[in-house]
Structure formats: C-alpha cells, structure tokens
A = this chain, B = another copy of it.
Amino acid sequence: MENPGSQSASQTTSQGRFQSVVEPLQPAFAALESFLVRQVTAFEPEVQPLVDYCFGHSGKKLRPILVFSMGAEPGKVPSEEIVQAAAIVELVHLATLVHDDILDEADVRHRTETLVSKYGPHVAVLLGDALFAHALHLAAQYPDVEVCRTVSLATRQVCSGEIAQTFARGNELPDPEAYFRMIDLKTAELFNVSAYLGGYLAGFEENALDAARQYARHLGIAYQIYDDAADIFAEERVAGKTLGTDLATGKFTLPVLLWLEAMPAERRRKVFARLRGGSMDREQVRQALLDDGVLDSVGRAFHAQLELSHRAISRIPGSARRQQLEILADFVGSAWNKFNIR
C-alpha cells in the first residue's frame, strides 16, 4: 500500500537532486535551448509547427545531460560543437519517442498530448523520420565523420532493439536475458553514445572514453529498468504519462519476467496465459507483484547497474566532472524512491 506522505517527500528529494544535476549545467542548457529554437527554422515550412510542438514538450533531457557532464565545464557555456552534439542526441531520442508513441498507442507523454494523438500516425511516422534525418544532418556538419558514424550506428541499434522487443511481444518464453539485450540496444546505446560524444569532443583518451561509455551504458540500463518498473508501479499523476501501456500491448518487462521466472512451471504457465489473454489489469498485476516481493528483486537489478555506473567514474578525468557524474548517478538512483511502497 502507498504512503502518499512519504512518496511526496521522496518526490521533493528527487526534484531537489535533479536541481543539483542541472544547476551547474544551466549555461549549457540555455545554449541548447537557443540552438534547438534555431533548428526549427531549418525544417521545411510545412513541418516547422510539428517540430516546434515536439521541442516544446520534451522531458528531462538526460542524453544532453550526459553530453554536457562529459564535455562541458560546470557553470560555463560549452563550445558550439558540444551544444550541437547535445542537440543531435536529443533529436534522435525525440524521433524514437514519436515513433514509440505510435507503437504504444500512447496519448500522453511529458504531461501533454502525444504527436500521434494530435496529428495521427501518418504524420507521426514522417515527422520521426524527419527528426532522425535532421539529427544526422547536424552530425554531418562536423569536420570529421566520427560523429556521423557513431550517431547513425546508435540509431540503427536503437531501432533493432525496438524491433526485437516488438517480435518478443506475446512470445512463448519471455526471458530476462533477452530483455537485457533489448534495453541495451534500445536505451543504453544512445546513453553510451551521448557520453562518448561529450568525451570525444572534449579530447578524452581511449581509457577515459571507454569509462564514459561504461558509465552511461549502465546508467541507461538502470534508467530503463526504472522506466519499465514505473509503467507497473508508479502513479500516473507522478509519472506525467500514460501508464500500463506495456502490459496492455503485451510487452513484458523485467518485473513480469522476474515474477514469472520465480514461479513453479505450472503456475508460470497459467499466469502467463492470463497475462497474454489480457485478463489481469494493471492494478491486479501491480498488487500481485508487490505481494510476491518482485519490486525488491527488480530494485536489486536496478541498483546493481547503478553500482557498475559508479565504478566507471574513477577512470574519468577531472574532479569537477567526476563529482557531476556522481550526482547524476545518485539522481537516477533516487528515482527508485518513488516506489516507496509499504
């Protein structure tokens, strides 16, 4: 059962922690905002209002935060090429969100109507494409091709992860290992590339670049575990988006997979049949998972990833940067407190 008092307290803590993540990055964020505003006019006139709508309803910008945390000095305006890299990864992310919302038939994201709900799936397919293409166009503005190479490969892997996930919907044997491979492709890869680009453009050496990738990759996996858990355990009011869409569309994420895995074979078969048949609603699933202690198992997987993320920090140069990365990992860790359910 929930304790609204403690949840509200943990929310405040989480918001406070987010403030401490973004505060040193304010000059970088201001530069990113003005860069993105300029990008709207780079699109063909017909498309500008749609791009504007997308940019106006984005989230916490975790991927730009990763670029800045690696590539920008706290409190200072970063170089144009760092700002542009942050814009590129945010555009790729927005493109995947626009396409995801078609697949998930989601109506609300970041507390506003989704593009697919407002303009229909045709426009959403095409706008996602245009955002992808513009991201790659920006990547191609760098004098060397490394940015374009990295971003295009990551984009392909994100799509492949989503395809694997789509094929897995409603499959006979959901398997936690396949789940980890999917979220590695669909989420951790773009986190990884965001940190890599920040470090690459800031002149990191090979070992530090590898550490930047590891830090971001495990942070990304942790974040996706949290996001999937929120679809089942969070309150819509707190999440600011439609919840329960995974279950409703036959997408089984870590909580359900760990729950099934821990069952005797016979019960697993029966429960899985009920889940696939859609005869358990979100609230029933949520309560059953809480009763069986699944939130704790998922929490352990989440914290294990965060621990790997923390461990990579020591190989990254600069004490101010390392401190910023600790704060960021702690912020992601604090998200789990939202599930402070007794």
Contact-size category for A = 35 or more
Query: Which of A25-33, A153-161, A254-262 lies on the face that meets chain B?
Result: A153-161
**Residues from chain B with Cβ under 8 Å of A145 in the complex:** 140-145, 148
From 79 to 138 in chain A, residues with beta carbon under 8 angstroms from any chain B beta carbon are 95, 99, 102-103, 121-123, 125-130, 132-134, 136-137
Asked, given contacts A122-B103, A145-B143, whether A136 binds B163 with beta carbons under 8 Å apart, the answer is no
Q: Report the minimum CB–CB distance from A40 to chain B (whole Å).
A: 13
Asked, given contacts A143-B145, A149-B141, whether A166 binds B132 with beta carbons under 8 Å apart, the answer is no
- Docked CA distance A50–B134 (Å): 25
Residue A47, interface by CB 8 Å: yes
Residue A225, interface by CB 8 Å: no
**Residues from chain B with Cβ under 8 Å of A129 in the complex:** 95, 99, 128-129, 132, 155, 159, 162
Q: Report the minimum CB–CB distance from A160 to chain B (whole Å).
A: 4
Q: Report the minimum CB–CB distance from A202 to chain B (whole Å).
A: 21
- Docked CA distance A156–B139 (Å): 13
Asked, given contacts A125-B103, A132-B132, A145-B144, whether A46 binds B164 with beta carbons under 8 Å apart, the answer is yes
- Please give me the residue from chain B that is nearest to A168 by CB atom: B46
| Cβ-defined contact, A133 with B130, below 8 A | no
From 161 to 185 in chain A, residues with beta carbon under 8 angstroms from any chain B beta carbon are 161-164, 166-167, 185
- Docked CA distance A143–B136 (Å): 16
**Residues from chain B with Cβ under 8 Å of A102 in the complex:** 121-122, 125
Q: Report the minimum CB–CB distance from A270 to chain B (whole Å).
A: 28
B133, B144, B164: the one contacting A159 at CB < 8 Å is B133
| Cβ-defined contact, B127 with A163, below 8 A | yes
| Cβ-defined contact, A44 with B164, below 8 A | yes
| Cβ-defined contact, A133 with B152, below 8 A | yes
- Please give me the residue from chain B that is nearest to A132 by CB atom: B132
Residue A272, interface by CB 8 Å: no
Interface string of A245-285 (1 = CB under 8 A from B): 00000000000000000000000000000000000000000
- Docked CA distance A102–B166 (Å): 16
| Cβ-defined contact, A126 with B159, below 8 A | yes
| Cβ-defined contact, B156 with A137, below 8 A | yes
| Cβ-defined contact, A137 with B149, below 8 A | yes
Residue A339, interface by CB 8 Å: no
Q: Report the minimum CB–CB distance from A264 to chain B (whole Å).
A: 30
Asked, given contacts A99-B125, A99-B129, A129-B128, whether A47 binds B134 with beta carbons under 8 Å apart, the answer is no
Residue A43, interface by CB 8 Å: yes
- Docked CA distance A140–B161 (Å): 21
**Residues from chain B with Cβ under 8 Å of A123 in the complex:** 163, 166-167
| Cβ-defined contact, B137 with A152, below 8 A | yes
- Please give me the residue from chain B that is nearest to A164 by CB atom: B46
Between-chain CB contacts (< 8 Å), 18 pairs: A43-B160, A44-B157, A44-B164, A46-B160, A47-B163, A95-B129, A126-B166, A128-B129, A129-B132, A129-B155, A129-B159, A130-B163, A132-B133, A133-B152, A133-B158, A136-B148, A140-B140, A140-B149
